[in-house]
Amino acid sequence: MKKRQVSKQALFATVPVPKALLTMAIPTIISQIINLVYNMVDAFFIGRTGNSYMMAATTLTLTMVMMNVALSNLFGIGGGSLVARLMGAGETEDAKRVSAFAFYGAAAVALGYSLLIGAFLDPVLRFLGASEATVDYARSYALIVVVIGGLPSILSMTLAHLLRNTGFSSQASLGLSMGGILNVALDPLFMFVLMPRGQEVTGAALATTISNAAACLYLLIAYRRASAEAPLSFNPARARALKRERVRALFAVGVPSAILTGLFDVANICVNILAAVHSDLVLAGMGIVMKVERVPNAVNIGICQGMLPIVAFNYSSGNRQRMRQTIDTARKAGLAVSLACIALFELFASQASRLFLSTSAGDVEAAATTVAFATLFLRIRCVASPVQFINYHTSYCMQAMGDGSKTMLHAFVRELVFYIPFMFLLDRLFGEVGLAAALPAGETCGALFALWLLNRALKDEKSAAQSAI
């Protein structure tokens, strides 16, 4: 046991940065991609029906599903970042209290969100842009995945964050990946065998919820086993014993992280509402693109999540050189991935779009129009990938340093000052093309602001360290 603890400590503190980052990031990237596949596989199999209205309905519900991610970040990233910093400071018992508090807090928030959506499901769907042609499909999917399946979904992501931030990146990734693989297997079974024709959306929702529940069960077991050698705990007494200053420190990072994801979700809601005003086919096309463009995002978020505990540990232990080297190495890797994805999407936008909607089944004319919209939107929006990564990277760096105020400021400015206003302005001036162009415009402005904030945070941190000396 002692040897294993030393190896985890060495991974954060002494292993060469590129190797440490690869060790932490590769399992996370794999799980992000598999998680992405199982989120996209619903859309893929629904697309085999050639029904653009089913596709539009799953686009509407994506914003509700993404709120699960925001709520898991509240306790997963907030708690995980704090646990990593406490490990770096050698405060193991406090780290255990934080992990227990994060676990029970995530469960409570998940139940509250599910009950709230269940009580106001139809009004929420109408607000998101559901039409008479899409509302029944959207209601069926949201009821099963969000209302019934919200708890295992949010707990799975929270447990994965806590495991990852204590050095158990492989176990976290395996749990999420297992759920993804199971969903890929269950989707066609539930959609085309067990459920009658016309109920494919319900079948996809059932497969997703069962897969999330299985992943949650595995991660609960992995978390319990890891607690024997890592500062992780299920003990409710430890959760109750957490000091107020630690709770504030958790929320100082968790709340901005949740708001960041929540505001991203709000932006997607605005995209959906504006796209739906043009037509259900524009909405379906935008929905396809929002799934395809998540490929580079998944890889880059995996890099950032692998980076976060290393930065947090070295920030608390005082190794500023290693902290900055980790930040720089992660930035170079993410930008390389982003530039490669731009080239691929520009060349193969049409082929990527056709993966999600058949143009030889169902309403062929509507499907062809939807794919044409998706191809155009993808070629415009994919150029935002590098600046989008800069926004993610900067936010995770500030979270790792416990700087919640700058993280929150960045989230508000990125979405509310730049992206959403650009969305309404460019949509009004140039229609659906302008709506697609709002992403690169808004993300570029947000990235410039983010780099300024990070530079300021690093300067403040350096000045504080020199004053302490």
**What does the pLDDT look like over 138-189, one tens digit per residue?**
898 899 999 999 999 999 999 998 998 888 878 887 888 788 788 888 888 9
Domain that holds residue 272: 2-459
Q: Is residue 446 scored above 90 in pLDDT?
A: yes
DSSP letter at 469 equals -
pLDDT of 340: 93
Euclidean distance between CA atoms 368 and 377, whole angstroms: 14
Q: Which residues contact 30 (CB under 8 A, 6 or more apart)?
A: 173, 177, 302
pLDDT of 460: 67
When pLDDT is cut at 50, 70 and 90, the band that residue 469 belongs to is very low
When pLDDT is cut at 50, 70 and 90, the band that residue 319 belongs to is confident
CA proximity to 5, closest of 188, 178, 230, 174: 230
CB 30 within 8 A of CB 180: no
- Is position 467 within any domain? no
- Is position 164 within any domain? yes
- Is position 465 within any domain? no
Q: Which residues contact 364 (CB under 8 A, 6 or more apart)?
A: 50
- Is position 219 within any domain? yes
pLDDT of 388: 93
pLDDT of 1: 39
Which residue blocks in 318-431 are alpha helix, DSSP H? 320-354, 364-381, 385-400, 404-412, 420-430
Euclidean distance between CA atoms 59 and 268, whole angstroms: 10
- Supply the Cα-derived Rg of the chain in whole angstroms: 22
pLDDT in tens, 386-442: 999 999 999 889 888 877 788 888 888 999 999 999 999 999 999 999 999 999 999
Q: Is residue 267 scored above 60 in pLDDT?
A: yes
Euclidean distance between CA atoms 169 and 27, whole angstroms: 6
- Is position 11 within any domain? yes
- Is position 405 within any domain? yes
440-456 per-residue burial string, b: 16 or more CB within 10 A, e: under 16: bbbbbbbbebbeebbee
- Is position 303 within any domain? yes
Q: Is residue 206 scored above 80 in pLDDT?
A: yes
When pLDDT is cut at 50, 70 and 90, the band that residue 105 belongs to is very high
- Structurally, the chain folds into a number of domains equal to 1
- Is position 469 within any domain? no
